[in-house]
Structure 1
Amino acid sequence: MRFIVYGAGAVGGVLGAYLHLSGQQVVLIARGAHLTAIRERGLTLEDATGSRTMAVPAVAGPREIEWRDGDVVLLGVKGQDTEAALRELAVYAPAATPVVCLQNGVDNERQALRAFEHVYGICVMSPTTHLTPGVVRADCHPVPGLLDVGRFPSGVDATAESIAAALRKAGYESVPRPDIMRWKYGKLLRNVGNAVDAVCGRADGVREIVGRIRAEAEAVLDAAGIAYTPEGEDNERRAGILKAAVADSRGGGSSWQSLARGTGHIEADYLSGEIVLVARLHGLTAPYNENARRWANLFAREGRPPASLPTEQWLATLPADA
């Protein structure tokens, strides 16, 4: 089994590094300065044990790979980049290639199933940071993350078992789960507050706003009859496993990092935006999630710095009846 990590940023880069260190075959797909740095100097992984630089094969896209039997794609791009990544993969990767969505959100697997028969989801619980081009950091130790895996839309097969075993060999906690999407919807509820974290930071009032966003999201999923892991079950899965190894210097999560790096795009349409979509499909409204989506997209589009919006201004743009 060889892993093609399509999107070697924070989560994908750290996972690719640990897979490589555990003796498993890895090819990274990266872009821009990150790709250049990996090719010229190697991929540097920082964790609680120190800093290691390793020579991991890295390419700019699927066309540069000599595809073979046993290849498994770990799709690690953000949700807004999934469609383009899959379109390119479908040209070069054999149709029987397993595609594993190493991503937040719940729409990636559905998109992948249009192009590939064998699709898997991973519920990503792995705090990581993309520090600089060529350098990534695992923020938990000794277990860098929880990466439970299952077939999409449901079930467990031999491939899922093999992937989970490979992840465990790399140092992760991984359990094959037949109901992986229930876990991913539970993770979605944890992620819907990312957009506010990104634009408002940790200012006074943010916790209350995030609480309202999550409560609204739960109500929408309940109304739509969509199963998700409740917070208590999610917390129990993490308990005693994910241990912070470094002081949190990120300032925020993955959406905050997108704004800090000035990427020009953000994942809000596939997090809070997913709740807005489900609400509209069922004749409901989700004003808090819609406000979160709109502000995050505005910040990304205009290149505004993260954590620079006062909570009062965020609240002032809610509908009067919200």
Structure 2
Amino acid sequence: MRIIVHGVGAIGGVVAAALAHSGVAVIGIARGAQLQAIQNAGLTLRAPSGDIHAEFSCVGSPSEIAFAKDDVILLAVKTQDTHQALADLRAAGVAEQPIFCLQNGVENERIALRSFPNVHAATVMMPASYLKPGEVVTYGTPCFGMLDIGRYPGGSDTADEQLAKVLCAANIETFVSDDIMAAKYGKLLMNTVNMVDALLGFGNDFGDFPERLRAEAVAVYQAAGISFNEVKDDPRRQAFLQLTDVDGAPRLGGSTAQSLARGTGSIETDYLNGEIVLLGRLHGVPTPLNTRLMALGTEVSRKGTSAGTMTLAELKDLIDGA
């Protein structure tokens, strides 16, 4: 089995490096400085247990890959890039191969299923970062991360079992689930705080924003009849995924904070807080806090605002004074 990792950033980079280091055939798809760094010197994965270095083939586009029927594709781009990534895969001849969405939010799988019949979802619990080309970091121990995977919209098959086996062998603990979207909606509850984390900075006081965001999200889930798992307090994390420091690599925060720090020009807030806003509008539930944070996400991304440059008092004034 050959694994194609489309999007070798934080999550995709940790997964690609771990798999390649464990002996799995990996092809990465990356861009810019990250692509050049991997092609020139491979990818270093920094972890609490020590650094590993992996070298694997990496290209700039799916069109450079001769896809085989037994390839497995891991989609690890941000949601705002999913449409183009899938279009590129389709143009390169991908058809029946399993596509696993290793992404935040709940929209990617639906987008993928429009074009591909063999779509799988993944709930990714991996405290990873990518800020420097040629290097990714995970702060997870004893495992690099923990995943739940399953077929979308439900069930599971041999592709899930096979991928779980190779990921576990690469020190990424992975479980197969027949109700994967319940876990993904649970993870979305956590990700609604991403914009707060990006604006205030990792480790700072978030005030009552997490509780208020969760309350809005749970209200729209109930109105929409959506069930979810409480993944934040998953007891399996005690055994497989504790967070700790990595020397010389202080944590910046979640994926949104990292996008701001790298100045990518886009963030995924429209598909995190925006999902709650959409559900609220569909089912008549007010979501003022998620709506305001979604708007702030657009504003700070457009202005190129740096991560962690706002105080709690300033954010409260922007949200509650609006």
Does TM, scored on the shorter chain, surpass 0.5? yes
| Match of residue 240 from structure 1 | 239
* Contact 1:221–1:227 (CA under 8 A) maintained in structure 2: yes
The 1-side partners of 2:84 and 2:91 are apart by: 11
Cα distance 1:189–1:58, how it changes in 2: closer, same or farther (>3 A)?
A: same
The 1-side partners of 2:231 and 2:160 are apart by: 25
Residue 234 of structure 2 aligns to which amino acid in structure 1? Answer: N
| Match of residue 120 from structure 1 | 120
Cα distance 1:204–1:64, how it changes in 2: closer, same or farther (>3 A)?
A: closer
The 2-side partners of 1:67 and 1:202 are apart by: 40
Confirm or deny that 1:296 pairs with 2:297: yes
Question: Greater shift after overlay, 237-246 or 76-85?
Answer: 237-246
Confirm or deny that 1:22 pairs with 2:26: no
Percent same amino acid among aligned pairs?
44
Confirm or deny that 1:307 pairs with 2:308: yes
Other structure's SS at 2:74 match = strand
Cα distance 1:47–1:203, how it changes in 2: closer, same or farther (>3 A)?
A: closer
Residue 317 of structure 2 aligns to which amino acid in structure 1? Answer: A
Residue 240 of structure 2 aligns to which amino acid in structure 1? Answer: I
Other structure's SS at 2:300 match = helix
Post-superposition offset of 1:317 = 3.6
Post-superposition offset of 1:296 = 1.8
* Contact 1:47–1:245 (CA under 8 A) maintained in structure 2: no
The 2-side partners of 1:265 and 1:43 are apart by: 24
Other structure's SS at 1:175 match = strand
* Contact 1:195–1:296 (CA under 8 A) maintained in structure 2: yes
Residue 265 of structure 1 aligns to which amino acid in structure 2? Answer: S
| Match of residue 147 from structure 1 | 147
Post-superposition offset of 1:205 = 5.4
Confirm or deny that 1:199 pairs with 2:193: no
Other structure's SS at 1:206 match = coil
Post-superposition offset of 1:318 = 3.6
| Match of residue 272 from structure 2 | 271
The 2-side partners of 1:144 and 1:60 are apart by: 26
Other structure's SS at 1:265 match = coil
The 2-side partners of 1:261 and 1:27 are apart by: 24
Other structure's SS at 1:274 match = helix
Q: Cα deviations across residues 252-303 of structure 1 (Å, max 9, x unaligned)?
A: 2111111111111111011111000010011222011111111122111110
Other structure's SS at 1:80 match = helix
Unaligned runs of 5+ in 2: none
The 2-side partners of 1:70 and 1:87 are apart by: 20
* Contact 1:99–1:118 (CA under 8 A) maintained in structure 2: yes
Cα distance 1:35–1:240, how it changes in 2: closer, same or farther (>3 A)?
A: same
* Contact 2:273–2:290 (CA under 8 A) maintained in structure 1: yes
Post-superposition offset of 1:316 = 2.9
Structure 1 segments of 4 or more deviating over 6 A? none
Aligned residues: 320
Other structure's SS at 1:207 match = coil
* Contact 1:149–1:174 (CA under 8 A) maintained in structure 2: yes
Post-superposition offset of 1:143 = 0.7
| Match of residue 253 from structure 1 | 254
The 2-side partners of 1:283 and 1:245 are apart by: 42
The 2-side partners of 1:136 and 1:251 are apart by: 13
Cα distance 1:246–1:205, how it changes in 2: closer, same or farther (>3 A)?
A: closer
Post-superposition offset of 1:230 = 2.7
TM-score, with structure 2 as normaliser = 0.94
Unaligned runs of 5+ in 1: none
The 2-side partners of 1:204 and 1:34 are apart by: 30
Other structure's SS at 1:256 match = helix
Post-superposition offset of 1:52 = 3.0
Superposed, 1:70-219 pairs within 5 Å as 70-201=70-201, 206-219=206-219
* Contact 1:196–1:296 (CA under 8 A) maintained in structure 2: no
Confirm or deny that 1:7 pairs with 2:7: yes
Cα distance 1:203–1:184, how it changes in 2: closer, same or farther (>3 A)?
A: closer
The 2-side partners of 1:203 and 1:167 are apart by: 30
The 1-side partners of 2:139 and 2:218 are apart by: 29
Post-superposition offset of 1:240 = 2.5
The 1-side partners of 2:22 and 2:197 are apart by: 34
| Match of residue 45 from structure 2 | 45
Residue 301 of structure 1 aligns to which amino acid in structure 2? Answer: R
Cα distance 1:125–1:71, how it changes in 2: closer, same or farther (>3 A)?
A: same
Question: Greater shift after overlay, 272-281 or 125-134?
Answer: 125-134
